[in-house]
Amino acid sequence: MSVKPWDGRFSEKTDRSVEAFTSSIDIDKRLYCYDIDGSVAHCKMLAKAAIISQEDALSLIQGLGKIKREIERGGFRFDDSLEDIHMHVEARLVQEVGRVAQKLHTARSRNDQVALDVRMYLRHETVALIKNLIQLRKVILGLARIHLDVVMPGYTHLQRAQPVLLSHHLMAYYEMFSRDADRFNDGLKRINVMPLGSAALAGTTYPIDRDYTAKLLNFPKVSANSIDSVSDRDFIIEFLSSASICMVHLSRMSEEFILWSSSEFGFIELPDAFATGSSIMPQKKNPDVSELVRGKTGRVFGDLMTLLTLMKALPLAYNRDMQEDKVSLFNTSDILKQCIDIYIKMLPNLNIRKDTMYAAASKGFLNATDMADYLTMKGIAFREAHSCVGKAVSYALRNNKELHELTLNELKSFSSLITEDIYDILTPQQMINRRKSFGGTATENVIAAVEAAEKQLDKETETFLSVKAALKNQVC
Ligand code: ARG
């Protein structure tokens, strides 16, 4: 059992069960490189402000570098009695450089230290996610580009509604993932604030230079209130909220792939490499990847709930409850990256069944609205046209025909305004290409949307590279 930093105040040793219960090392050890980089910057700042000597700072920094390499090599021993990553590094530093190690924690508390570590971790994760979302959208754009001639039924209430281009449907997901990337980008501003120097909660009596620490760690901003700095986990809640919304999008897409790959729809065939079989039914090919993305969405929502519940009644400032934040944060960040990654790989390999989609878009009176619009343009009120086409649909149903299969005479019996030109508006392709209103599914619109998105993504990639370069962020 190790000696605790608070040993002076206590007359009894910590019970082993308490050590095991309060320890977070299994979770927070993955913060080690941020913890060490933060400590190195802190040492440099202490030396610059003449709070410790240059020689002490040098030996601390060398020791910290050695510990980092040791953890990287897998040669570091973790132990419950040392609670968390901060205490592990400090205890090892004592072994490495001797008594001078005890100067590292001058003008600092684990409360501001952990806030710093998590912020450094999360800005790195956020940048990685933004990159993933750029790649995912590139893949979606690629699909939209090559399938511009694929017509499918668009749905409302999961009933066939009006024909659309598959590319238009895919571009709806492009829009969702663009908003996700935007949200992560925006959150980055609030993550990227440097809390170190707030100490336990009230600041410190030492003449520290927080701006210098921030500069060393590439933070554009220093937190303004020491109490808020150690109590704030809004940036985690925000991240989990953005992640939850992104998972909603991935889950809706998954649901569609699950439906579309069923025999009932038959719109797509999943690549063999991304499907699984059944241990009992030899004919089965299951959409497990999409099902698991849909399922993991629940875990991410759970993480958001965990953080909201964790924080809702905490008095200021730091409370140990907050240690529980990392389980949820790491879980969500890992899940989201995995889900996006698997779709980046899977999407280009989807087999699109163009004929089945087209057949589905050609049946079920998807042209009824167009016929009503046609009559309206010929001078009758839309409601009257609606009723007139309703009667035609009922007649066609009874005669087992589609609207465009009715003869001109049959059609005229519902309205004398109908002439031969009705047949120019009733096929799926005609219906699609007449929907030229901005944001509509006409082929020319969709091509323009794909081109605009390609340009936007190029721009975003440039911005992303500059954000990434500015962070110069170390990765654990
Ligand atoms: N392991 C703790 C956490 O993750 C670090 C801060 C502990 N501070 C304290 N005063 N016990 O929240």
Among candidate residues 157, 263, 416, 466, the one labeled active-site is 157
Per-residue 3-state assignment (H helix, E strand, C coil) for 412-464: HCCCCCCCHHHHHCCCHHHHHHCCCCCCCCCHHHHHHHHHHHHHHHHHHHHHH
CATH code (residue 260): 1.20.200.10
Q: What percent of the chain has pLDDT over 70?
A: 98
Q: What is the pLDDT of residue 467?
A: 84
190 plus 329 within the same structural domain = yes
Q: What is the pLDDT of residue 14?
A: 87
160 in a structural domain: no
127 plus 41 within the same structural domain = no
For residue range 195-246, list pLDDT tens digits in order: 999 999 999 999 999 999 999 999 999 999 999 999 999 999 999 999 999 9
Both tokens assigned to 265: 């729809």
Q: What residues contact residue 235 under an 8 Å CB cut-off, 6+ apart?
A: 119, 122, 187, 190, 191, 193
Q: In this model, does residue 3 exceed pLDDT 70? A: no
Pick from 111, 122, 201, 236 the residue to mutate for probing ligand 1's pocket: most ligand atoms within 8 Å of its CB.
111
Using the mean position of ligand 1's atoms as its centre, give its distance from the Cα of residue 438 in Å. 53
CATH code (residue 412): 1.10.40.30
88 in a structural domain: yes
Mean pLDDT computed over 407-435: 94
198 plus 300 within the same structural domain = yes
Among candidate residues 53, 262, 278, 394, the one labeled active-site is 278
pLDDT band at 468 (very low <50, low <70, confident <90, very high): confident
420 plus 455 within the same structural domain = no
Using the mean position of ligand 1's atoms as its centre, give its distance from the Cα of residue 371 in Å. 68
Both tokens assigned to 45: 């700042």
83 plus 228 within the same structural domain = no
CATH code (residue 13): 1.10.275.10
270 plus 387 within the same structural domain = no
Among 395, 411, 426, the domain boundary falls at 426
Q: In this model, does residue 110 exceed pLDDT 70? A: yes
Q: What angle do CA 232, 237, 239 make, to 5 degrees?
A: 115
Range of the domain at 288: 123-147+166-206+216-349+449-474
How far is residue 445's CA from residue 438's CA, in Å, rounded to a whole number?
Answer: 7
Mean pLDDT computed over 19-43: 96
189 plus 286 within the same structural domain = yes
Both tokens assigned to 132: 């993933």
440 in a structural domain: no
How far is residue 344's CA from residue 191's CA, in Å, rounded to a whole number?
Answer: 27
Using the mean position of ligand 1's atoms as its centre, give its distance from the Cα of residue 394 in Å. 70
127 plus 78 within the same structural domain = no
Structural domain count of the chain: 3
Q: In this model, does residue 355 exceed pLDDT 80? A: yes
138 plus 99 within the same structural domain = no
187 plus 293 within the same structural domain = yes
455 in a structural domain: yes
Mean pLDDT of the chain: 95
For residue range 71-92, list pLDDT tens digits in order: 999 999 999 889 999 999 999 9
Q: In this model, does residue 391 exceed pLDDT 70? A: yes
434 in a structural domain: no
234 plus 317 within the same structural domain = yes
For residue range 270-329, list pLDDT tens digits in order: 998 888 877 777 777 899 999 999 999 999 999 999 999 999 999 999 999 999 999 999
Q: What residues contact residue 195 under an 8 Å CB cut-off, 6+ apart?
A: 112, 115, 116, 119, 223, 229, 230, 232
Using the mean position of ligand 1's atoms as its centre, give its distance from the Cα of residue 225 in Å. 19
Mean pLDDT computed over 37-61: 98
Among 393, 411, 426, the domain boundary falls at 426
372 plus 284 within the same structural domain = no
User: Taking the model in full, what pTM does it have?
Assistant: 0.93
Q: Is position 157 annotated as part of the catalytic site?
A: yes
Q: What is the pLDDT of residue 10?
A: 77
137 in a structural domain: yes
152 in a structural domain: no
453 in a structural domain: yes
- Report which DSSP code applies to 356: H
How far is residue 180's CA from residue 186's CA, in Å, rounded to a whole number?
Answer: 10
pLDDT band at 1 (very low <50, low <70, confident <90, very high): very low
Q: Which residues line ligand 1 (CB under 6 A)?
A: 24, 28, 84, 110-111, 114, 318, 320, 322-323
